[in-house]
């Protein structure tokens, strides 16, 4: 194998692994079109995979359907609540813009129980009302990562 062939194989492997990792993080977010399919709302968490007893935050982006860049300046018309795995415990948390990420919104939270949480997001996007609930990736116990135990 020539040096050039080796370099091309290494480059291809790096691109493949990078692509797989980026797909994994994108899959952890859920998206829905709202307001008559005019807008696309994407919901996930800043730190994924998600573990209990770690500070984390909502990663919310709203885009005009079919466009790449999220819409800034919507925070005053948005509300969100987190729903625990039992489906009964709910808590509304204030949404704010994510610093350094125009058009993305967040709230801080520490999830204390493993399981599947949901995020309900509702409000107004440029005068168009919406109300959607998103199931997020499973929250795993932090103890799974501890070593030695």
Q: Which two tokens stand for residue 96?
A: 């704010």
Contacting residues for 117 by C-beta, under 8 A, at least 6 apart: 82, 83, 84, 85, 111, 135, 136, 139
> Which domains are delineated in the chain?
30-145 (2.60.40.10)
> Given this model, what pLDDT does residue 11 score?
61
Q: What's the pLDDT tens digit per position in 47-74?
A: 999 999 999 999 999 999 999 999 999 9
For residue 29, which of 137, 140, 113 has the smallest C-alpha distance?
137
What is the pLDDT, as a whole number, of residue 28?
Answer: 77
Distance, in Å, from the CA atom of 109 to the CA atom of 61, rounded to the nearest integer, reads: 17
pTM here is 0.78
Span 90-106, pLDDT tens digits: 999 999 999 999 999 99
pLDDT (average), residues 3-19: 55
Write phi, then psi, for 41 (nearest 5 degrees).
-105, 125
pLDDT at residue 14 is higher than 80? no
| Beta strand spans in 69-110 (E) | 78-83, 90-93, 96-97, 104-106, 108-110
């Amino acid at each position: 194998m020539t040096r050039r062939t080796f370099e091309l194989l290494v480059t291809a492997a790096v691109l493949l692994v990078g692509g797989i990792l980026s797909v994994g993080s994108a899959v952890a977010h859920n998206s829905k079109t709202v307001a008559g399919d005019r807008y696309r709302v994407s919901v996930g968490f800043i730190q994924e995979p998600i573990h209990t007893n770690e500070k984390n935050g909502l990663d919310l982006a709203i885009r005009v359907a079919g466009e790449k860049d999220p819409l800034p300046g919507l925070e005053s018309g948005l509300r969100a609540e987190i729903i625990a795995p039992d489906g009964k415990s709910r808590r509304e948390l204030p949404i704010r813009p994510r610093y350094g990420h125009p058009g993305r919104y967040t709230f801080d939270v520490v999830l204390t129980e493993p399981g599947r949480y949901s995020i309900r997001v509702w409000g107004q996007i440029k005068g168009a009302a919406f109300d959607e609930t998103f199931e997020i990736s499973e929250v795993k116990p932090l103890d799974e990562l501890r070593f030695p135990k």
